[in-house]
Chains A and B, each alone.
Chain A
């Protein structure tokens, strides 16, 4: 069973939206859960790029 929220492409669409909102001057924050073993550098790159 595949759920739409894990469907391919959803992440990219969401990130485009986040970038558009930041560009438009809105304050954007994320609700992110990081688990043991997550690579901090990847997280930083994801959230700041």
Chain B
């Protein structure tokens, strides 16, 4: 096997394209990790791979993915899932904090709950701070994020949490080649993070929460998890492949209430 690895964007489709081209740190590291995971700890291939990575490491501790290969060749390589990332949109992010006018319109006109008022105040601050984003929705997270970081700096903290990444499940409704999550055994793929655990994790001080992992919209209790995080004033950023997004957005049924449901529950919670 080649210890030093390169690939092209279509190497999953055409096996003749595997293991060619200039080597890149990410692919070499993946190959080494793969060999180590398979129990190969003493081969020349592993040693050469590690040595290559060590020699290529830059002063700042990182690696240069775009560096030329050993014969000074260069090529455009996709870091990620071969063949899949050419979908222009693979993942989308959602901020769970909705626009205030939407909230008021949907949550009953008369009494805004306190959590809605909190969002409203934040929105007002954010508008003063940095205006509105081009689509008209205030950038809620930016001001809170700046304030949080500034506070940590003033307190002289060198290390502080910025984001909590929850992986509520590894299950997915896609089977992309190269995805490590869906390779897990069935009993792990069946498992889902319980809202109580998520809630406990959210007590840690951090401004943002993020749901990567498998496809979060498949999680039966995702509305509950999101509502819990929102109630704790966390910004939730969800990575989804968007295949179930439309029904989650448009269905007002309590059974699939991820987006609207989380708003209602947030509003009702306090």
Contact = CB atoms under 8 A, between A and B. Distances in A.
B92 A30 contact: yes
Contacts of A23: 249
A27 B84 contact: no
B76 to A, nearest CB: 5
Contact of B93 (A16, A28, A43, A46): A28
Interface string B67-107: 00000000010101101110111111111111100100000
A40 interface: no
Given A6-B84, A18-B245, A46-B88, A25 B93 contact: no
Nearest to B83: A6
B240 to A, nearest CB: 8
A17 B93 contact: no
A31 B249 CA distance: 20
Nearest to A19: B246
State which size class the interface on A falls in: 20 to 34
Interface of B is mostly: loop
B9 A35 contact: yes
B260 interface: yes
A11 B93 contact: no
Interface in B198-249: 239-246, 248-249
B176 A14 contact: no
A19 B180 CA distance: 29
Contact of A21 (B78, B173, B176, B259): B259
B266 to A, nearest CB: 13
A28 B249 contact: no
B13 to A, nearest CB: 9
Interface string A13-49: 1111110111111111111110110000001001100
B57 interface: no
A43 B175 CA distance: 25
A2 B225 CA distance: 34
B162 interface: no
Given A3-B175, A6-B84, A20-B249, A26 B98 contact: yes
Given A3-B84, A24-B249, A36-B76, A30 B89 contact: yes
A31 B87 contact: no
A5 B245 contact: no
Contacts of B244: 17
B245 A20 contact: yes
Contact of A3 (B80, B176, B241): B176
Given A5-B87, A18-B242, A24-B102, 17 more contacts: A3-B174, A3-B177, A5-B81, A10-B174, A13-B243, A15-B89, A15-B242, A17-B242, A17-B243, A17-B246, A22-B135, A27-B94, A28-B94, A31-B91, A31-B92, A32-B90, A35-B78
6 contacts: A6-B84, A25-B99, A27-B135, A29-B93, A30-B88, A32-B90
